Structure 1
């Protein structure tokens, strides 16, 4: 005798039709339920097995096989692109080779989809047939339940109809509740009017109670099962069995059902929590990937003026791409959208970079021709003895040279040496003709030797007070004011001076920045073209300002609420502080050159 939780007859209801177990796992959970395929060939073989088994596989496994194939497909393309770049090619010029297995994969997926559609159509047709049969059985049970005088004689027929009802499985989901309600109504009516032997009835109750207690214990043990997904699916089978068992004694019906329902609630709650945590992690991944997209999209391309600017930004892009790969999946509906946004931002960066390089190369070729023309003019004047007028012309040519932009690296040094060589030759000849300058260089030699002597005396005294440091600075300032010395004495004096200064710096513990600045100032008198040096420092200064501005803008796109975001903010702040220190040093060097130029004038 088969009764439900209300001590009334109930036949089996398929698991997919039970309302209390309607929650289904998302596709990502399939990764924990099926073996990982390590190659595209393994994916192909599994698809062939599924087709051979008449598509006996659920949609989750098929989706996982599809994701695995394209993940391996993309990994091969990325590796091929990396080899292409490592061998000298440009990333934007890379064209992936056709995948020989992709056609077979798509063909197999098409066959599976077609067979599954046929299978689903057949299942729907079978459900309609099963519905018609159950309606016919229900009508017979109704007639038996409404014939109380024949109840004793029709008991066996009723049991046979119950068995037939249980043998019929799937029916349309929209009809499940209505069928179940009518089935319970007429079977309850039949048992209410049926006068069976009391001992037989009690035996059925006892047997059903033992079976339901066993199912309750099994459901309660699932609460400690480590895999929440597997526990959920095992519960579906237990629930199906529970509802297929007949009734228990009336006074135990509510308690045994409450016990099973309580155990089911624990498993369902764990199952729901699993997917809630997974959803939260995916949202966090989406937030991180969105920040990366915003950083790349927020780059101010009009501020990138040099090759160094673009190379620095390229390193940042590559670092962000590497970080992207370490972040897990996002919500399924956003996964494709956020990746397309990221790829579009990266593609735009490299497109802008390629356009800049093309533009700069074209301008460099024009600049080279302009500088060659200046070289020819300087070379035509280098042997002139009209010192004053020629000096003015060459000085003007040097100023014009600084207004011309850069040239290609392979031509930069040679064309500069050609130009400055002609200029230096003229001024050297001019200096030789100026005897008064020689006497001035001799005087400068005496002054610098005296400064070196004083530095060595301070070093020998061994004092480290503030007064000594001030004396050192005063002597260095005096050194910088002294002009040129005879050429053959230049290196000797330079080495002696810096040896004495370095020893004093080391003992007085002066800052590295101050040491660099003082060292730079002491070398200004040896510079052959202070205008060129100043122009170079000004470009460096502007580049550092742009870098600081870029990093400060990037801070606005970062979310420091997460641990990873906070770490990135801290690193960018450190970079900004270092850049500001470099900016200050460059500014002081420019000021030192300006002072030296004023002294020359």
Structure 2
């Protein structure tokens, strides 16, 4: 008979293992000594220890599913419960019980984690739906379109929810994308129609611009080109493939006209600069007639100068007031001299001036007499009033006398 702390072999070769519930038969051993029997079944026990250790490690360090882990535990428990090994089988059962608790705890933890992940995924998808619904109202077609495509990629990367919730959120998400696509399609269809209308308008403007390019009616044509340019800007843009070609034709027609006008204006400017030089010389010649001493001779000389002046063409617009002002000054001097001569030689005007002077002189003399009489009577108030009236009449008399002198009298 042979034994150790966990088992023994009796005289018949039967092997027993000691447990908390008493001894259990392990098996019968007839092939060798009792020590060899114990050693054999102890090795089987060590095999169970190794298997349980490996399973514990797998449960703790891998993503072994709870179902597979419990199946493996039950398989090992059956081997332990079969009592085909010598060792502390109760300790192995305790380890398996703890392993079951760990697997259950891991299962609950994973369940809670899946619940958290599902809620996070729900919140993430709801946020995507809200943003997509906001983007569906946007007019920033390129930016919003790119963002919606990015949202689809983000959606695909999120875990699925329960079928009902996932389908409802996807329906809202898909509807928002469809609404945006419909609005964008309508916008660009309208834009295409506007651009086609702009193309037709600009082709008409180009045709008119090209027809005007050979015009020599400089002022009205230049004004019409400005109107055409305003119409061009108001027409909006045509399709990209047409816009540049139409603009080049439109601008080219204007360039032809304005180049021709510039050439003509350059010749005209040179001619007007020469005209200005000639008119400045004539203005200087006219100014030499001042001051006027011989009206008749001055008038004849000015007439001759003015005839030569009129024969000369236009001068630059900015120089016109200055050079014409010089001639006008001489002309005004002649007119004033003529008026003075007319007044001096007009008998009727002289007679009227003499009559007015005589009347004023009589009124002054009368007032002087009245003043002397009032003073003699001691009426100083009346005298002062008459003196003030005298001052006014005397001033009129002095003016009339000055005018009479212009007649040489």
What is the TM-score of this pair, normalised by structure 2? 0.44
Q: Which has the higher strand share?
A: 2
Q: Select the structure of larger CA radius of gyration.
A: 2
What is the TM-score of this pair, normalised by structure 1? 0.32
